[in-house]
Amino acid sequence: MRAVVQRVSESSVTIDGRTVGRIDVGLLVLVGVEHGDTPADAEWLAGKIAALRIFADEAGRMNRSVRDVGGATLVVSQFTLVADTARGTRPSFIRAARPEEAVPLYERFAQALGDATGRPAERGVFAADMRVALVNDGPVTIWIDSRRKTDAAPDASPGAVPDTTPSPESTTETSP
């Protein structure tokens, strides 16, 4: 699954002139489901997004998550996120999951995100022709792909880079 996460001061989704989802401060999350994505991908992505520290703390540093600030989330399905543009100028969407595979994962992701933030996620309507409005705050826009995740040590913070510096013992030459 792929997501584009945008920190917003407000966002809304309108279909045929009717607002179906609206938030104030929080995250607009555009989600694309790819063939082979799993419920585990949906759960991982929701947890990652809920914990992203992209809101300012008292010192003005990006150090707080959407749940820390009591922000809302708006989830919008967007199959174009899995576009392949490697050949030619017309994007290929062959990797996008068919609706029978994508809808349950989209719904699971939205539910998991709501659970992780403590507030139900507002939603667009899957496969509808939507008008998405937003005021990007910052701007802050993050792209996340569940297929690019790495396993971190249990005590490592999200996104932590493992220390590969050799220890003094491993660099000490020994005499025969």
CA distance 91 to 113: 29
Instruction: State the CATH number of the domain containing residue 57.
Output: 3.50.80.10
Q: Give yes or no for residue 143 having a pLDDT over 50.
A: yes
Q: Give yes or no for residue 160 having a pLDDT over 70.
A: no
Do the domain assignments include residue 127?
Answer: yes
Q: Give yes or no for residue 164 having a pLDDT over 50.
A: no
pLDDT digits (tens, 9 = 90+) for 41-74: 999 999 999 999 999 999 999 999 999 999 999 9
Q: Give yes or no for residue 1 having a pLDDT over 80.
A: yes
Q: Give yes or no for residue 167 having a pLDDT over 70.
A: no
Q: Would you call 111 a catalytic residue per the annotation? A: no
Do the domain assignments include residue 93?
Answer: yes
Residue labelled with tokens 């792909």? 145
Domain that includes residue 19, residue range: 2-150
| C-beta separation of 121 from 5 below 8 A | no
Q: Would you call 55 a catalytic residue per the annotation? A: no
Percentage of the chain beyond pLDDT 90 is 83
Catalytic residue among 55, 78, 109, 117: 78
Q: Using only C-alpha atoms, what is the Rg of the chain? A: 19
| C-beta separation of 25 from 8 below 8 A | yes
Do the domain assignments include residue 158?
Answer: no
CA distance 145 to 58: 30
Q: Give yes or no for residue 146 having a pLDDT over 80.
A: yes
pLDDT tier, 148 (very low <50, low <70, confident <90, very high otherwise): confident
> How many domains does one find in the chain?
1
Q: Give yes or no for residue 140 having a pLDDT over 80.
A: yes
pLDDT attached to residue 22: 98
CA distance 133 to 93: 24
Catalytic residue among 6, 79, 109, 117: 79
CA distance 60 to 58: 6
Q: What is the pTM of this model?
A: 0.83
Q: Would you call 109 a catalytic residue per the annotation? A: no
pLDDT tier, 150 (very low <50, low <70, confident <90, very high otherwise): confident
For 122, phi then psi, to 5°, come to: -70, 155
Do the domain assignments include residue 164?
Answer: no
| 99 against 163, higher pLDDT | 99
Do the domain assignments include residue 24?
Answer: yes
Catalytic residue among 80, 89, 109, 117: 80
pLDDT attached to residue 151: 57
